[in-house]
Chain A
Amino acid sequence: MVNDVQNVPGSPGAQPGERPGAPILTMSGIVKHFPGAKALDGVDLEVLPGEVHCLLGQNGAGKSTLIKVLAGAHRPDSGTITWRGEPFEVTTPVAALRAGIATMYQELDVVDGLTVTENVDLGHELASAGFTQRRAARARTAELLARLGHAEIPPGREVGRLSAAGKQVVSMARALSHDARLIVMDEPSAVLDSEEVANLFRVVRDLTAAGVAVVYISHRLDEIREVGDRITVLKDGRTVATGLAVDQTPTADLIRLMTGRTVEHAFPERPGVPAAADRRLVVTDLSLRGVFEDVSMTVRAGEVVGLAGLVGSGRSEILETIYGARRATSGSVEVAGRRLRAGSVSAAVGAGIGLAPEERKSQGLLLDEPVYRNITLSTFGRFARGPMLDEQAERTAAREQITALDLRPHDPDRTARTLSGGNQQKAMLARWLVHGCDVLLLDEPTRGVDVGARAEIYGLIRALADRGAAVVVVSSEIEEVLGLSDEVLVISEGRVVHRCRAEQIDEHGVLDLVMEGSAA
């Protein structure tokens, strides 16, 4: 662990053009239009050196667009940016980096085929006379990874072989490798488990101690409480509040600012599952060699079973194996009493299982296709007359779900790419609602979904169960698993270490079990 702040790239101390107390970055009146939509409509943001400035807002509020403007990926239509006391026009991402603004995007922006070192150095390779200095680059990357608390990641490892969390670390190392005065982190904790989040916070504190400003975007209010200094709230492309002190602003106020309404209970009531309910999904001694073993569970109609555990504990793999996306090495999956063929997704779908995968964009959606085709992706054959598609019937079905789930915008012909995270997730749920699922497997259903939309998605999941679906939920947020589920399975290193009713355990209990399991 590096306590020596001198090692921080972008070393501390007074820099020219930075008076103490003066903002390092001021954005005012930023407006950005996209064809057919106004993404930013007058945003103001002021960031002080050495502070963690949190950017809050619902999906679609304009956070991502704003940071893309700052990173030089979009050019604003109007508005001014002042950087270190001088007017600044960000023309290209490279210009932003040169000026000392580094961005970690929400979508992991790493190149799978390159090594960790090559990714970290991408675009500013250490080189002399055109030849890369591989040894020096590798050493520097190893140092950065150690600072991030991930010395175990080999700098020579191909990034494609790392987990999502590992890729996030690489992305972070890349941001650090620039001589940055301001680092924008767009939901950096989304793919991290709690231990890694703690690591992330330590790095953030190191950075701010060295005078680097951090713009931190997260949907998790508890994180913002822990690491943030001030908050700016965006809503519908406008700044609705700026410079709020984190420790003096109640959560209720923040939610009211973000949503324009108050959220009382995020988690819906659990009516309880009658003992006589059908056993919809029975998993017996399911194993996938080297990943998890002997996982058994029974999910009855109307029941929500949650899998809690750290990233990498095998949670997602368990869901994917139940679904047939991975071929189990042993064990069986039965739906309504009928055993499924191992390793066959179409058998699972045919039996009435639906999966909303963890990576919506790469595993779930056809981003360039209209929403209705995404919604009917597993059912278009059913609407068809013989081999001929019936797109009107598909649109009608999609439109009903769009209305029922309040999927914005209410337009079945909108391209999936243009939707916010929460609405993309609703499209995934809509797909299985149209399909009609007896068993629904949800992997990180609220990843990248804002607070307001989260409550809606929780409500939806509960409503599905109440209508008789058997639901299995995986989430990195233990609170979410506990709040949603009837029964909880705690997973550690590929084994079920504990199972109990959700109300019989709390967050600490789960963490204790997970840590114990890891130590074993």
Chain B
Amino acid sequence: MSEQTPPTLATAGSVPPDPASPTPLERGRSPEPAAGATQRPPSGLRRFLHGAAGRNIGLVIALLLVCVVGVATAGERFVSVDNLMTILRYAAVIGVLSIGMTFVITGGGIDLSVGSVLGLASIWASTLATQTMAGDIHWIVMVGTALAVGTGAGLVNGVLIAYGRVVAFIATLAMMVGARGLAEMIANRQTQLVTVDPFLDFFRADLLGISVLVWIFAVVAAAGWVLLNRTTFGRRTLAVGGNPEAARLAGIKVKRHTMYLYAIAGLTAGIAAVMMLARTTAGSSTHGQYYELEAIAAVVVGGTLLAGGRGTIVGTVFGVLIFATLANVFTQNNLSISAQAVARGVIIVAAVLLQQRLAARQRST
């Protein structure tokens, strides 16, 4: 408030300023567009530590700790290339689900149905009819079916939540129960073997020594990262999750966007169903049971705020890897699944406690 003169309006509001002509203030800044957090010298270190990289350091440490335990207890067996591939293959399916879940949670919602939808899509894509058609035409028919079923279920969730104003927890709970039941009805509680060999050949192959399934996870994660951090869609997701009313009053179509978020979660469930069909060579109505909870756990441990408004794909990937590695360490040591579940629970609680402390620190400034 040092100037007496009324402020002059620099830009005539009607035209956004030309991005090619930076103001004098822009001079001296690094032209690199990425990672704006680390650019400014005055508080660079602090910004870095508070930025994405800083938040992920905790996750890196956690992952390393699990690995150290793995090496210490299982040694050679743990560090072998084969075993690392096993971990990644295991992580891939949950990982793809978790990327979709990251979007839903960042947008202020929750999706309990992805596991069941995975099961339903795996059944639908492996019915006799679908497989016959796939055998006649191309295996892509099975993939298309799984993705369509997943996206369709996601859209139903989205429409119910966004336009029907059903609470997300309840709408997706209903879908979780209903999709599982529908899968059982279609499959008649039978496991449906995949007989389309080209499908299996494609998805069970290795590319550059790495399973195609892992590549799919990598591609989905990368696409998710770009979508969340670098696109208008991602910005809308943050806005809708952070303050839906402000987003609405700023002209963002909140309902439509919410619907899209659930469709994305459904789409990832469809992709995960394809991966599951390939990994197990069969469709089953029990595929994906409890996967929704594992995905939510991975997302939250990764640092995405359960309340919405802040999400991190990198964190989610770490969350998935931590749980997958942990499961592997337990298996390598012939420990029970029950003990593993206890460890998982402890990790989730620790992560949430940490997250709350960080949030509280931020709020007090």
Which A residues are within 8 Å of any B CB, using their own CB? 34-37, 58, 74, 259, 261, 268, 323, 325, 345-346, 348-350, 355, 357, 362-369, 373, 377-384, 387-393, 395-397, 399-401, 403-406, 408, 413, 415, 417-418, 431-437, 452-453, 456, 459-460, 463-464, 467
Are A377 and B246 touching (Cβ within 8 A)?
A: yes
Given A433-B13, A435-B13, A36-B365 contact (CB < 8 Å): yes
- SS of A interface (majority): helix
Chain A residue with the shortest CB-CB distance to B17: A397
Chain B residue with the shortest CB-CB distance to A381: B232
Are B19 and A325 touching (Cβ within 8 A)?
A: no
Are B19 and A392 touching (Cβ within 8 A)?
A: yes
Are A268 and B246 touching (Cβ within 8 A)?
A: no
Residues of chain A within 8 A (CB-CB) of B6 are 268, 456, 459-460, 463
Q: How far is the CA of A384 from the CA of B11 in the complex (A)?
A: 19
> Counting CB contacts under 8 A, is B28 at the interface?
no
Are B17 and A400 touching (Cβ within 8 A)?
A: yes
8 Å CB contact of B249 from A268, A325, A452, A464: A325
Q: How far is the CA of A369 from the CA of B305 in the complex (A)?
A: 13
Chain A residue with the shortest CB-CB distance to B253: A346
The winner among B238, B246, B365 for most chain A CB atoms within 10 A is: B246
Name 26 A/B residue pairs within 8 A (Cβ), A-sorted. A37-B365, A345-B249, A349-B250, A362-B245, A366-B239, A368-B362, A377-B252, A380-B232, A384-B231, A388-B232, A389-B232, A391-B33, A392-B19, A400-B23, A403-B10, A404-B8, A404-B10, A406-B7, A431-B250, A436-B13, A436-B15, A436-B16, A453-B1, A456-B6, A456-B7, A463-B8
Chain B residue with the shortest CB-CB distance to A264: B4
Are B246 and A364 touching (Cβ within 8 A)?
A: yes
Given A399-B25, A413-B36, A436-B12, A404-B19 contact (CB < 8 Å): no
> Counting CB contacts under 8 A, is B22 at the interface?
yes
8 Å CB contact of B230 from A355, A389, A435: A389
8 Å CB contact of B4 from A261, A357, A437, A463: A261
Residues of chain B within 8 A (CB-CB) of A368 are 242, 309-310, 362
Considering the complex, which residues of chain B in the window 26-46 have a beta carbon less than 8 Å from any beta carbon of chain A?
Answer: 26, 33, 36-37, 40, 43, 46
Are A393 and B9 touching (Cβ within 8 A)?
A: no
Task: Mark interface residues in B327-357 (1 if CB within 8 Å of A CB, else 0).
Answer: 0000000000000000000000000000000
Given A357-B249, A393-B19, A400-B11 contact (CB < 8 Å): yes
Residues of chain B within 8 A (CB-CB) of A349 are 250-251
Are B243 and A365 touching (Cβ within 8 A)?
A: yes
Residues of chain B within 8 A (CB-CB) of A396 are 17, 19, 22-23, 26
Chain B residue with the shortest CB-CB distance to A359: B245
Are A393 and B364 touching (Cβ within 8 A)?
A: no
> Counting CB contacts under 8 A, is B235 at the interface?
yes
> Counting CB contacts under 8 A, is B233 at the interface?
yes
Measured CB to CB, the closest approach of chain A to B306, in angstroms, equals 14
Residues of chain B within 8 A (CB-CB) of A373 are 235, 238
Q: How far is the CA of A460 from the CA of B6 in the complex (A)?
A: 7
Residues of chain A within 8 A (CB-CB) of B10 are 400-401, 403-404
8 Å CB contact of A369 from B13, B23, B231, B238: B238
8 Å CB contact of A378 from B19, B25, B250: B250
Chain B residue with the shortest CB-CB distance to A469: B13
Other than A345-B251, A369-B238, A403-B23, give 6 A-B pairs with Cβ distance below 8 A: A261-B4, A367-B242, A392-B19, A400-B11, A406-B7, A460-B7
Q: How far is the CA of A28 from the CA of B312 in the complex (A)?
A: 45
Q: How far is the CA of A433 from the CA of B8 in the complex (A)?
A: 12
Q: How far is the CA of A393 from the CA of B20 in the complex (A)?
A: 8
Measured CB to CB, the closest approach of chain B to A414, in angstroms, equals 10
8 Å CB contact of B245 from A363, A389, A460: A363
> Counting CB contacts under 8 A, is B3 at the interface?
yes
Are B242 and A401 touching (Cβ within 8 A)?
A: no
Measured CB to CB, the closest approach of chain B to A458, in angstroms, equals 9
> Counting CB contacts under 8 A, is B80 at the interface?
no
Residues of chain B within 8 A (CB-CB) of A34 are 364-365
> Counting CB contacts under 8 A, is B188 at the interface?
no
Are B36 and A391 touching (Cβ within 8 A)?
A: yes
Are B248 and A325 touching (Cβ within 8 A)?
A: yes
Residues of chain B within 8 A (CB-CB) of A261 are 1, 4
Chain A residue with the shortest CB-CB distance to B305: A368
Measured CB to CB, the closest approach of chain B to A395, in angstroms, equals 7
Are B309 and A366 touching (Cβ within 8 A)?
A: yes
Residues of chain A within 8 A (CB-CB) of B303 are none
Are B251 and A417 touching (Cβ within 8 A)?
A: no
Are A456 and B243 touching (Cβ within 8 A)?
A: no
Residues of chain A within 8 A (CB-CB) of B15 are 436
Measured CB to CB, the closest approach of chain A to B178, in angstroms, equals 30
Given A387-B233, A389-B234, A365-B11 contact (CB < 8 Å): no
Measured CB to CB, the closest approach of chain A to B365, in angstroms, equals 5
Are B250 and A384 touching (Cβ within 8 A)?
A: no
Q: How far is the CA of A323 from the CA of B250 in the complex (A)?
A: 10
> Counting CB contacts under 8 A, is B200 at the interface?
no
Chain B residue with the shortest CB-CB distance to A68: B364
> Counting CB contacts under 8 A, is B128 at the interface?
no
Are A390 and B1 touching (Cβ within 8 A)?
A: no
Are B249 and A399 touching (Cβ within 8 A)?
A: no
Are A397 and B16 touching (Cβ within 8 A)?
A: yes
8 Å CB contact of A467 from B12, B16, B363: B12
Measured CB to CB, the closest approach of chain B to A306, in angstroms, equals 20
Residues of chain A within 8 A (CB-CB) of B3 are 406
Q: How far is the CA of A323 from the CA of B249 in the complex (A)?
A: 8
Are A405 and B7 touching (Cβ within 8 A)?
A: yes
Q: How far is the CA of A378 from the CA of B248 in the complex (A)?
A: 10
Residues of chain B within 8 A (CB-CB) of A348 are 251
Q: How far is the CA of A406 from the CA of B10 in the complex (A)?
A: 11
